[in-house]
Structure 1
């Protein structure tokens, strides 16, 4: 009869009476254990994080496209013909000759009748900034 205990008494052969250290309730009068519904919380979190990632991706994509465009303009200007050393801060104009070659000039597009490709300014990093 010593081995028999009521059903509502928590007893373990190895740990003894250990109801106070268990992670769950052991008393009939204890509050019910309810599992929270985390699906909606996860869904909101995933949606918010995906929006943030998409925003960052779009920002990086735009920066990449601008960098590629800047590279192409610089390549076009540096491959053009010019017989002078460009001065940092000056504005230059890129034109196309009748034979299809490109050349750089200080003369503005309104001053003569050549095919104007673009207006550029040389910055201190020797990078051509496309103005128009």
Structure 2
């Protein structure tokens, strides 16, 4: 008759007593093995990452809005009428002419009575920077 082994002994015909090589507890006195709650960890991670993506997306939307506004002002200034070559770093004022077209001038809005659109400065990248549009009647 075959010798019976107790239930709490790890024994196999092929391996013999191999409890020290197993990844799980093999006797009654071994510590309890609990599985980690990875679902909660994943949910916290997903929430944190989604929040980061939302913040980055909001920043990009704001940056895009600023870029489009700069683009519109630059398009307006470059399409305006002027008969001089603008100097980098100089301040220029845009007005609406009697013919309905925008034009650039060196004359400030306080020096004459024309319909003021805005004040601009040309930077070294040939991009027009908006200095003032606060007293503009439109745009």
Please, what TM-score do these two structures have when normalized by structure 2? 0.86
- Residue 62 of structure 1: aligned partner: 62
Displacement, 1:40?
Answer: 3.2
In the alignment, does 2:64 pair up with 1:75? no
Q: Map residues 1-132 of structure 1 onto 2, 5 A cutoff.
A: 1-2=1-2, 4-132=4-132
CA displacement 1:70-97 (0-9 Å, x = unmatched) = 1111111001110000001000011112
How many residues end up aligned between the 2 structures? 132
User: Structure 2: 5+ residue runs without aligned partners?
Assistant: 133-139
Displacement, 1:39?
Answer: 3.5
Displacement, 1:115?
Answer: 1.3
- What is the CA–CA distance in structure 1 between the aligned matches of 2:64 and 2:38, rounded to whole Å? 38
Please, what TM-score do these two structures have when normalized by structure 1? 0.90
- Residue 137 of structure 2: aligned partner: none
- Aligned residue for 2:20, secondary structure, equals helix
- Aligned residue for 1:124, secondary structure, equals coil
- What is the CA–CA distance in structure 1 between the aligned matches of 2:121 and 2:51, rounded to whole Å? 38
Shifted more, 61-70 versus 29-38: the winner is 29-38
Aligned-residue Cα RMSD (Å) equals 1.6
